[in-house]
Amino acid sequence: MLMELYFKNYLGNLKKISEPDTIGEAERCVRKYCKERSYRIKKLELKQEDGGLVIDVGNHTESFILKDCCIAHDRSDKYILCK
């Protein structure tokens, strides 16, 4: 099952932008989406929330949401993808 990557605008509306297979691919999609719109990413932070994994790019009103995904840390401090 593929994950779904959405852009959430300042009104809370979701726009599906891709179906990545990995978190790394989702990150590349986010970077490409921002670059195409001349938005400079101030930070890239992952936060687990009920709706999925929120990818914060430093904008106070807009973000990306990766649905059908969760992350966890193992003891070596690496990210583990959960489905």
- At 47 the pLDDT is 86
Query: Given a cut of 50, is residue 22 above it in pLDDT?
Result: yes
Taking the whole predicted model, whether its pTM rises above 0.85 is answered as no
Rounded CA-CA distance 40/36 in Å is 10
- Look over the chain and give the mean of its residue pLDDT values, rounded to a whole number: 83
pLDDT at 70: 60
pLDDT digits (tens, 9 = 90+) for 23-60: 889 999 999 999 999 999 998 888 888 778 899 999 88
- C-beta of residue 49 within 8 angstroms of C-beta of residue 67: no
* pLDDT on residue 23: 84
**Domain of 51, in residue numbers:** 4-82
Question: Structurally, how many domains does the chain consist of?
Answer: 1
pLDDT score recorded for residue 36: 96
